[in-house]
Amino acid sequence: MQLIVVSNREPYIHKKAGSTISVEQPAGGLTSALDNVLRTVQGTWIAWGSGSADREAVDARGCVRVPPPSPSYTLRRVWLGQSETDNYYAGYSNRVLWPLSHVTLDRVYYTKRYWESYRKVNRKFADAVIGELHEDSLVWIHDFHLCLVPLFIKETAPSATVGHFWHIPWPDWGTFRILPQARDIIEGLLANDLLGFQIPLFAKNFMNCAQEALSAVIDPERGSVVYNDHTTVLKAFPISVDFDSFQTMAASKKEYSIRHLKKQLGIAGGYIGIGVDRLEYTKALLKRLQAIDLFFDKYRSFIGRFTFVQIAVPTRLSEPYISYKRSVEDMIARINMKHAQGSWKPIVYITTKVEHHDLALYYRIADVAIISSVYDGMNLVAKEYIASQVDEKGVIILSEFAGASEELSGALPLNPYDIETFAENIKRALLMPAEEKRSRMRALREHVRSNNLSKWTDDFLQALESCRERPRRERDGAFLFFDYDGTLTPLVDDPRSAALSKSTRDLLAGLRSVYPVAIVSGRTLFDVMNMVDLRDILYAGNHGAELWDGQRVIIGSDGPVDPQAIRAFLQEITPAMAGIPGVMIEDKGVTISVHYRNVDGRRRQDVVERFRHLADAYRNTLSLVEGNMVLEARPRTVWNKGDAVAWILRTFGAGRLPLYVGDDATDEDAFRVVDQAGGISIGIGMKTGAPCYLESQAGIEDLLSWLGQTGNP
């Protein structure tokens, strides 16, 4: 197996300082997690070469072996111009997708050039991946910067196995739909074979978005989405940290290192709190500071006895981060001025990057860690703190809106918007009895120990491997849909006499034990169920407006159905057709049908025109459907055959290959849904619309017996 990791941020940055070149590892959850993976499995990491000396460090293909000094994998750099950095990275990624996904909507700022650049850069990344692909490659893409890369890869290399991990939250459709390119982004991600999220809620939100934006066929139980004949598996993989490494780093610190660090921080005694973050508004540093301020206001006895150490490394050095940084600094200065006593100050503020081996000591000495994110994919700091708590004396206060809170039930939960309870929680954490602290921390440590970083990578890669093993067009089998009149029975003058032949019924009964079967008809539900007279199949009547799901009748509609309009239409259409012999008006409850098969050929057009004329007056509430010698008036909100098929597939058959047989213009909606789900549409006596067709209805029994014999059409 050759692993190709693809991310925006590179794991090693070459920087120029005068005439020397140094190599740095950027702060941030993603890179620290994945560097470990590639060190173990080797392979290639494709990322933006953002360092001032990056070009000097690479070979002609843009590659450099890392990590220094003992390299174990290849870093291939993708080059971006200044305008791409501004528009793709600072623009579409950081000012559109990031705030949108974190539901900080007033920070979303969008312009067209951001999107154009985003597409262009995603194409560059995809080209770099294609240049590295081998037959046994597994491609693992990361995060929101690269949503279109899977699609671009698959356009050139459809058999590549591609997975994507989404590190940040995925919001619900009500939020995501504000994005002008919501469909494109979701479509790009659905080209993945595997799409991983931090917690099940984000996978569920994405699934709903796929359904709403693209009418993709979803299977919530199995966690898959079928779109354009391609299945994407969705799954939660909660990311973690290297527990052993943090534990070892923390445990290795001797008493004198601890004393030395406290002295350096100016902490003479008392409790210590810690916050470690990129200087990022979603981490809610301001709310945290407000709570600390209130804590000292309310609980004066902690003045001089609690010091909060905030390590905040500046990030994304543009707006709104510059202003946010300034606000944080101002607030810290104000709080320190307000509460300082003698040489003690409440907040120690560190703005440099602290290497993990030093960070482990900060975590170890802290009596409380505060994670206050307003929304966060996971939050690795929470887990790093737990792994470093070798003395089991610390308490973690953790925002309910960080993905980590799903797993870390021993933490004190926090709503960062509730500043008063936040302040109380700090007191509660500090004064918690030692035994309670220990038992909570022990359980948390056990959890992180057994759900560590290597489990995360193993789980993801294993799931991705099994996508490769899945045959490309593997389905669970077919789902058969049949129209009734003109499909299962020949068209006759009087619909009441269109009985199903015994041989056709027997064939259908046989198919029922091999595939799920649904009959989708323009007749009323009651009527078609009576005519077919078979149990254990699903029915949709009234062109999709009524459904039988095996247990109950469902009215299929996208909104309220006003019965008044259809009644009024019936009152008017009856006298309008009165003078035309052969017209049959059928009151189907939710809808009205006017059959004119038995009308003299010269007067048929007259029927159609009278109907259209009247229907026009009702165009705001009713829609007109023209079928084979039948006209139908339906409330606008009720489902058509396509909607019914989509619902049946969603509810009973995600992952199955739909096959639909129909003969009528009203079947076209169903053909469209079936085609979109990668299924097979078969028209009877009609060569347009449906890509396959039967010459005439007489061939239906041959088709049914063939379906019975073949395992999977």
- As to burial, measured by CB atoms within 10 angstroms (0-12 exposed, 13-18 middle, 19+ buried), residue 507 is buried
Residue with Cβ nearer ligand ADQ (328 or 359): 359
Neighbours of 353 (CB within 10 A): 15
Residue 230 pairs in a beta bridge with: 227
Contact between 379 and ligand ADQ (CB under 6 A)? yes
Output the six-digit token pair for 392. 């089991």
Residue with Cβ nearer ligand ADQ (237 or 660): 237
Contact between 644 and ligand ADQ (CB under 6 A)? no
Shortest gap between Cβ of 357 and ligand ADQ (angstroms)? 11
Residue pair 220/204 in contact by the 8 Å Cβ criterion = yes
Could you tell me the maximum CA-CA distance found in the chain, to the nearest angstrom? 106
Q: Give kind and range of the element (H or E) at residue 260.
A: helix 255-265
Q: Which range touches ligand ADQ (CB under 6 A), out of 13-21, 275-283, 290-298, 302-310?
A: 275-283
Q: Which range touches ligand ADQ (CB under 6 A), out of 206-214, 290-298, 380-388, 647-655?
A: 380-388
Contact between 95 and ligand ADQ (CB under 6 A)? no
Footprint of ligand ADQ on 334-353 (CB under 6 A): 353
Q: Which range touches ligand ADQ (CB under 6 A), out of 377-385, 437-445, 457-465, 648-656?
A: 377-385
Contact between 187 and ligand ADQ (CB under 6 A)? no
Residue with Cβ nearer ligand ADQ (31 or 122): 31
Contact between 177 and ligand ADQ (CB under 6 A)? no
Shortest gap between Cβ of 436 and ligand ADQ (angstroms)? 27
Residue pair 315/281 in contact by the 8 Å Cβ criterion = no
Of the candidates 23, 354, 568, 680, which one interacts with ligand ADQ according to CB under 6 A? 354
Q: Which range touches ligand ADQ (CB under 6 A), out of 270-278, 478-486, 513-521, 598-606?
A: 270-278
Of the candidates 84, 132, 193, 277, which one interacts with ligand ADQ according to CB under 6 A? 277
Total residues at interface with ligand ADQ (CB under 6 A): 24
Residue with Cβ nearer ligand ADQ (11 or 29): 29
Residue with Cβ nearer ligand ADQ (398 or 441): 398
Output the six-digit token pair for 529. 């169920």
DSSP 378-405: --HHHHHHHHH-TT---EEEEETTBGGG
Shortest gap between Cβ of 146 and ligand ADQ (angstroms)? 14
Contact between 376 and ligand ADQ (CB under 6 A)? yes
Shortest gap between Cβ of 516 and ligand ADQ (angstroms)? 39
DSSP-derived 3-state class of residue 427:
helix
Residue pair 394/441 in contact by the 8 Å Cβ criterion = yes
Shortest gap between Cβ of 22 and ligand ADQ (angstroms)? 17
Neighbours of 709 (CB within 10 A): 9
Residue with Cβ nearer ligand ADQ (4 or 279): 279
Give the sign of the dihedral formed by CA 533, CA 538, CA 539, CA 543.
negative
Shortest gap between Cβ of 504 and ligand ADQ (angstroms)? 57
Spatial distance between the Cα atoms of 408 and 410, rounded to a whole number of angstroms? 6
Instruction: Find, among 236, 246, 248, 189, the residue nearest to 456 by Cα.
Output: 236
Contact between 378 and ligand ADQ (CB under 6 A)? yes
Contact between 643 and ligand ADQ (CB under 6 A)? no
Residue with Cβ nearer ligand ADQ (167 or 445): 167
Contact between 664 and ligand ADQ (CB under 6 A)? no
What's 638's DSSP letter? B
| Length of the chain counted residue by residue | 713
Shortest gap between Cβ of 31 and ligand ADQ (angstroms)? 9
Q: Kindly list the distances between the CA atom of residue 226 and the CA atoms of 148, 165, 440, 679, in Å, as whole numbers in the listed order.
A: 17, 18, 42, 11
Output the six-digit token pair for 689. 């619309």
Shortest gap between Cβ of 343 and ligand ADQ (angstroms)? 25
Helix axes 380-388, 356-365, angle to 10 degrees: 70
Shortest gap between Cβ of 43 and ligand ADQ (angstroms)? 19
Neighbours of 120 (CB within 10 A): 16
Contact between 407 and ligand ADQ (CB under 6 A)? no
Bond from prior residue into 320 cis (ω within 30 degrees of 0): yes
Of the candidates 167, 253, 595, 656, which one interacts with ligand ADQ according to CB under 6 A? 167
Q: Which range touches ligand ADQ (CB under 6 A), out of 89-97, 103-111, 379-387, 694-702?
A: 379-387
Neighbours of 340 (CB within 10 A): 14
* Chain-centroid distance, C-alpha 10: 24
Backbone angles phi, psi at 244, to 5 degrees: -60, -40
Shortest gap between Cβ of 449 and ligand ADQ (angstroms)? 17
Residue in the shown chain whose Cβ atom is closest to ligand ADQ: 29
Footprint of ligand ADQ on 197-256 (CB under 6 A): 239
Question: CA 135, 138, 139: angle at the middle one, nearest 5?
Answer: 115
Shortest gap between Cβ of 384 and ligand ADQ (angstroms)? 5
Q: Give kind and range of the element (H or E) at residue 322.
A: helix 321-339
Q: Which range touches ligand ADQ (CB under 6 A), out of 3-11, 64-72, 273-281, 487-495?
A: 273-281
Residue with Cβ nearer ligand ADQ (28 or 689): 28
Instruction: Find, among 594, 591, 526, 588, the residue nearest to 562 by Cα.
Output: 591
Instruction: Find, among 361, 390, 386, the residue nearest to 253 by Cα.
Output: 361
Shortest gap between Cβ of 167 and ligand ADQ (angstroms)? 4
Residue with Cβ nearer ligand ADQ (383 or 543): 383
Footprint of ligand ADQ on 304-333 (CB under 6 A): 311, 313
Per-residue mark of binding to ligand ADQ, 27-46 (x: CB under 6 A) = xxxx-xx-------------
Of the candidates 35, 293, 384, 407, which one interacts with ligand ADQ according to CB under 6 A? 384
* Chain-centroid distance, C-alpha 630: 43
Contact between 610 and ligand ADQ (CB under 6 A)? no
Shortest gap between Cβ of 316 and ligand ADQ (angstroms)? 10
Of the candidates 171, 377, 495, 635, which one interacts with ligand ADQ according to CB under 6 A? 377
Residue pair 289/332 in contact by the 8 Å Cβ criterion = yes
Instruction: Find, among 670, 650, 651, 673, the residue nearest to 661 by Cα.
Output: 670
Beta strands in 101-229 (DSSP E): 137-142, 161-165, 194-197, 217-219, 224-227
Give the CA dihedral 467, 470, 471, 472, nearest 10 degrees: -30
Neighbours of 592 (CB within 10 A): 22
Residue with Cβ nearer ligand ADQ (27 or 657): 27
Shortest gap between Cβ of 359 and ligand ADQ (angstroms)? 6
Shortest gap between Cβ of 131 and ligand ADQ (angstroms)? 27
Q: Using CB under 6 A, list all residues that contact ligand ADQ.
A: 27-30, 32-33, 167-168, 239, 276-278, 311, 313, 353-354, 359, 376-381, 384
